[in-house]
Amino acid sequence: MSKNDNKGTAVVTGASSGIGAVYADRLAGQGYDLVLVARRADRLQDLAEKLRHAYGRKVSVISADLSDDDDVRHVEQAISSDETVTLLVNNAGLGGQAVVATADADAAERMIKVNVVALTRLTRAVLPGLLARNRGGIVNIASVLAFDTSFGGIYSGTKAYVVNFTEALQREVADTKVRVQVVLPGATRTDFWELSGGDIDALPKEIIMAADDMVDAALVGLARGEAVTVPALADTGKLDTFLGARQAFYGSLHADKPAARYAA
């Protein structure tokens, strides 16, 4: 793609490092201008300058803490009023706080604000414009831990929200040209683990994916129109089986009377 091609503006949250920084690089290479959002202003500026030089794209930065209500509203206002926005990548996320009984309540609240509230508000900020222009997309980064609570219910619960929220969005935009994708990474080598107080090297090496590989796979999935992308999943039939079983289970949850097993 030449530098004269332009797909509009992609907004990437959590863009200062890791998965977000890779998304920024790849999307700039595909022809997007960028709005990069993260807390660490110095890293954002360094990345923005690198991408401008490498790809000749317009790159602006917004230094914001997405656990802060005022900062979230500032980002909302900036992206909702920008008619060039065609893609939102909700990548920012916090981890840690595995055990509820000993979790820091304020830290847990910050995680919920970033992983759930900010993601929801920023989606709401751009969606009307995307629908009005009938183009573009939203990518929400969840986690395979949306389906596994063994690493703690707070983080897992936030990512389960992202999966369900995105699935509902997909129904909402089904008759339009707006695409909505949820990405479920497994263990990915980024500084997320260190910032969350974890040690990724405690995991088997064969289950740890490089951030570049994860993002490249997710972008292939987006280009193919996948609603759910799991970069590590070799057999997509397993995903179809899981989703089908879930739907069949849901269909058995409604009746006009309690099940016979609850009779007195």
Tell me the longest C-alpha to C-alpha distance in the chain.
73
Query: Are 89 and 131 within 8 A, CB to CB?
Result: no
221-242 burial, b if ≥16 CB within 10 A, otherwise e? bbeeebbbbbbeeeeeeebeee
Query: Are 124 and 79 within 8 A, CB to CB?
Result: no
Q: Is 155 a catalytic residue?
A: yes
What type of residue sits at position 76? E
Give the three-class secondary structure for 32. coil
Catalytic residue, from 23, 32, 155, 161: name it: 155
**Burial class of residue 171 in the structure, from the number of CB atoms within 10 Å of its CB (0-12 exposed, 13-18 middle, 19+ buried):** exposed
Q: Which residue's entry shows tokens 């960028």?
A: 34
140-158 burial, b if ≥16 CB within 10 A, otherwise e? bbbbbbbeeeeebebbbbb
Catalytic residues: 155
